[in-house]
Amino acid sequence: MESRAFGRYGPRLPVIGMGTSWTFDVRGTTEEAARRKIVDGALAAGTCVFDSSPMYGQAERVLGAALSGRREQGFVATKVWSAWTEEARKQIGASLGFFAGRVDLYQVHNLVAWRERLDMLDELRATGRVALVGATHHSPSAFPELARVMQSGRVQAIQMPYNPLEREVEREILPLAESLGLGVLIMRPLGQVRVVANPPPAAELKPLERFGVFTWAQALLKWALSDRRTHIALPATANPEHMRENAAAGEPPWLDDEARERVASLARPGGYV
């Protein structure tokens, strides 16, 4: 799998990571053991970036348990999400407990109380418990605010959606991130559920096989990562085989402009017959 420098401030990291929204919000020995197997498969396939949040129910705890005894093998990104200072402190304390006292990238989720939360995260960064600080948002309506946070000089990374049907970041956010040397994480690289759950016929993907694309999910991941201003895509899955397929999409060659347009066309409603 290809690795890219995670912006100007981060280490080199594999381009395919793993999200935990929905998929790691589980309880019980059997379900948690199954999630550990997914982490096993991710690490074996060369994926080491894991993204979580207190918004995702039990996901942080389950991911932390899956990394128990091998925490140093993972690059953990998580988030703080609260307008209330005491609640934010509780979230951060819990997260640090789940991840052996250290978070590699701590993000302000959806820019909630971002000035105050960045103050808290800066303190943790000074002590070495947090390596990098970032900000996230999922909505284009918040991108002007995200740009202001980026220009503040207080974050080293951002996370936002990027897929063939959500391309708003191409206008300002990606150029700005590139100019500032920020790490870029992609949420929703597979699009909304209706995109990845409605793949085009296999014959439509045939021309993409020369790029190492054999599944619709791989086409979508390659599409996003072929924009070299991005660094890590974060597909989520509860299926170990899908994890291996996703990881394979992190291998060059990358899509050229014509191939990217083909994928974008196939993703649009009515894009194929």
Q: Which residues of 171-206 are buried (b: 16+ CB within 10 A; e: fewer)?
A: eebbebbeebebbbbbbbbbbeeebbeebbeeebbe
Asked whether the predicted pLDDT for residue 224 surpasses 70, the reply is yes
Tell which residue, 235, 238, 264, 241, has the closest CA to residue 17: 235
Yes or no: say if 103 and 79 are a contact pair by the CB < 8 Å rule.
Answer: no
User: Dihedral of CA 124/130/132/138: which sign?
Assistant: negative
Task: Give residue 206's region: left, alpha or beta (phi > 0; psi -120 to 50).
Answer: alpha
Among the residue ranges 4-18, 110-124, 232-246, the one predicted with the least confidence is: 232-246
Mean pLDDT of the residues in the chain: 95
What's this model's pTM, rounded to 2 decimal places?
0.95
For residue 198, name the pLDDT band (cuts at 50, 70, 90): confident
> What is the pLDDT, as a whole number, of residue 23?
93
Q: Which residues of 102-141 are buried (b: 16+ CB within 10 A; e: fewer)?
A: ebbbbbbbbbbbbeebbebbeebbeeebbbbbbbbbeebe
Q: How many CB atoms lie within 10 A of CB 2?
A: 13
Structure tokens at 100: 């052996």
Cis peptide leading into residue 189 (ω within 30°): no
Asked whether the predicted pLDDT for residue 214 surpasses 50, the reply is yes
> What is the pLDDT, as a whole number, of residue 271?
65
Q: What is the mean pLDDT of residues 139-168?
A: 97
Give CA–CA dist 121/108, Å, rounded. 9
Q: Strands 3-5, 12-14: parallel, antiparallel or unpaired by DSSP? A: antiparallel
Among the residue ranges 66-75, 225-234, 238-247, the one predicted with the least confidence is: 238-247
**What number of CA atoms fall less than 13 Å from residue 175's CA on the CB side?**
5
Q: Find the helix or strand (DSSP H, E) in which 143 lies.
A: helix 143-151
> What is the pLDDT, as a whole number, of residue 106?
98
Q: What is the mean pLDDT of residues 36-63?
A: 95
Q: What is the mean pLDDT of residues 123-133?
A: 97
Proportion of the chain above pLDDT 70, given as a percent: 99
Tell which residue, 2, 39, 33, has the closest CA to residue 236: 39
For residue 153, name the pLDDT band (cuts at 50, 70, 90): very high
> What is the pLDDT, as a whole number, of residue 270?
66
Q: Find the helix or strand (DSSP H, E) in which 122 lies.
A: helix 114-127
Asked whether the predicted pLDDT for residue 104 surpasses 70, the reply is yes
